[in-house]
A and B are shown apart, each in its own frame.
Chain A
């Protein structure tokens, strides 16, 4: 019994230490972002890796989710004769929840893990120490552009996910199930509010971008300099990243009322 309590205490201490390290790391990254010179080239390169290369998976997943929502929504609504509200159902679920959350989860798996693996490999091959010896801050040159690109890409990817989802819902609802096109669009427009829904959605995507960006770079930056260390860090990014996205989704929803 005392053993269990001691284990719990140890785990708690480790958790709090880890939180402290992440906070200090976040402060370093934040300072690096505002320190000149701005790494425009590196930022654009990372935006390409994180944003453009995630585009396909985001758009395909968005359309698929929208189509499923259209089908499920229609089948449920038609029982109450309320199928003209399909646009509202598809739109609100996508904008409030599914868009930002699924985008963040997909991006964690696709780009977050790659970010961790890349930085982790640079740690293992002493590339970051090499930069330090050249008096170049690796956080400034390598980490900050990656984090920033993640923060910038997430709202854009989420918006594209939602638009693809709306189109998928439209396709199934209007073209396949015969909901009136005008009804679909007008119920969508009437149900969705700019401040409550769209702004909240962008806020979520933005926060998720910060979370995933920080977690993936932190895991890579602090990974053990061995190949096993890199792979453990990559796994940890996906697990911790996904869980914290879902946790923060609940917190933002509760606070913002989205």
Chain B
């Protein structure tokens, strides 16, 4: 079969366009990243993660700084969440991670409240102060319970350094 430079060029452009579309779908839409190794890996354990899923965003003050990589059950039957954050992030060791919901019924994500300590979390470190997901039904249940008891507001199912 004979070759023709013009046709070859057009085919080359077609392949490039197709690959660009694939790359766009994978990386921009699909969220595939090749910097998993390079980012700041942090862990956090929660009693209850509600509807949190891998790839949920991790935000500080509403700004996305990373995402959840995976979630496993640890030996204490708590959910151990691995997060991949921006490399240049310096988080004090007393920062708090909480699972919050976008709107009333929206997706859940992790919000980090930055603490004030001088020491910073290393790569692979664990955020010890966590706040579990709020389940709406449980919240209502709790509200009714505390209302009956005479309104001694409960702490929000928190558990920082549990022994």
A194/B11 contact (C-beta < 8 A), A155-B22, A156-B22, A159-B22 known: no
Would you call A162 an interface residue if the criterion is a C-beta within 8 Å of the partner chain's C-beta atoms? yes
Q: Are B17's CB and A198's CB within 8 A?
A: no
Q: Are A51 and B21 in contact (CB under 8 A)?
A: no
Chain A window 231-243, contacts with chain B (Cβ cutoff 8 Å), 1 for yes, 0 for no: 0000000000000
CB of B107 within 8 A of chain A? yes
Interface size of A by CB at 8 A reads 32
Smallest CB gap from B25: residue in A: A198
Known contacts A188-B29, A197-B30, A198-B30; is A41 also within 8 Å of B21 by CB?
A: no
Q: Which residues of the partner chain B approach A155 to less than 8 Å between Cβ atoms?
A: 18, 22
Give the nearest-CB partner of B7 in chain A: A48
Whether the Cβ atoms of A45 and B21 lie closer than 8 Å is no
Q: Chain A residues with Cβ under 8 A from B37's Cβ?
A: none
Report chain B residues within 8 Å CB of A91: 29
Contact B15 A47 (CB under 8 A): yes
Nearest CB of chain B from residue A163's CB, rounded to whole Å: 4
Question: Is A39 among interface residues, defined by CB-CB distance under 8 A?
Answer: yes
- A interface secondary structure, majority: helix
Q: How far is the CA of A166 from the CA of B21 in the complex (A)?
A: 11
B25–A159 touching, CB < 8 Å: yes
Known: A39-B1, A95-B25, A194-B26. Contact between A44 and B32, CB under 8 A?
no
Contacts of A214 in B (CB 8 A): none
Nearest chain B CB to A140's CB is how many angstroms away?
12
Complex CA distance for A21 and B88, rounded to whole angstroms: 60
In the docked arrangement, what's the CA distance between A156 and B3, Å?
A: 22
Interface string of B1-12 (1 = CB under 8 A from A): 111000110110
List residues of B (59-109) whose CB comes within 8 Å of A's CBs. Answer: 107
Q: Which of B2, B18, B26, B28 contacts A156 (CB 8 A)?
A: B18
Q: Is the CB of A47 within 8 A of B14?
A: yes
User: Nearest Cβ in chain A — how far from B74, in angstroms?
Assistant: 23
Given A47-B15, A155-B22, A159-B22, check contact A194 B31 (CB 8 Å).
yes
Question: From residue B110, how far is it (CB to closest CB) to chain A in Å?
Answer: 14
CA distance A163 to B25 in the complex (A): 8
A143 at the interface (CB under 8 A from B): no
| CB neighbours of A198 from chain B (8 A) | 25-26, 29-30, 32
| Structural contact, A189 and B11, CB atoms closer than 8 A | no
Known: A156-B22, A190-B107, A194-B30. A42 touches B17 (CB 8 A): no
Contact in complex: B29, A156 (CB < 8 Å): no
Per the bound structure, the CA–CA distance linking A194 and B25 in Å amounts to 8
Pairwise interchain contact A192-B30, C-beta atoms closer than 8 A: yes
Query: Closest CB-CB distance, A143 to chain B, in whole Å?
Result: 14
Q: Would you call A163 and B1 a contact (CB within 8 A)?
A: no
Residues of chain B touching chain A, judged by Cβ–Cβ distance below 8 Å, are: 1-3, 7-8, 10-11, 14-15, 17-19, 21-22, 24-26, 28-32, 55, 57, 107
19 additional A-B pairs beyond A192-B25, A197-B30, beta carbons within 8 Å, are: A39-B1, A44-B11, A45-B7, A47-B14, A52-B10, A91-B29, A95-B29, A156-B17, A159-B18, A159-B21, A162-B21, A163-B24, A190-B55, A190-B57, A192-B29, A192-B30, A194-B30, A194-B32, A198-B29
A selection of 26 A-B contacts at a CB cut-off of 8 Å is: A44-B3, A44-B8, A44-B11, A45-B7, A48-B14, A51-B11, A51-B18, A55-B14, A91-B29, A95-B29, A155-B18, A156-B19, A156-B22, A157-B18, A159-B18, A159-B21, A159-B25, A160-B17, A162-B25, A190-B55, A192-B30, A192-B31, A193-B55, A194-B30, A194-B32, A197-B30
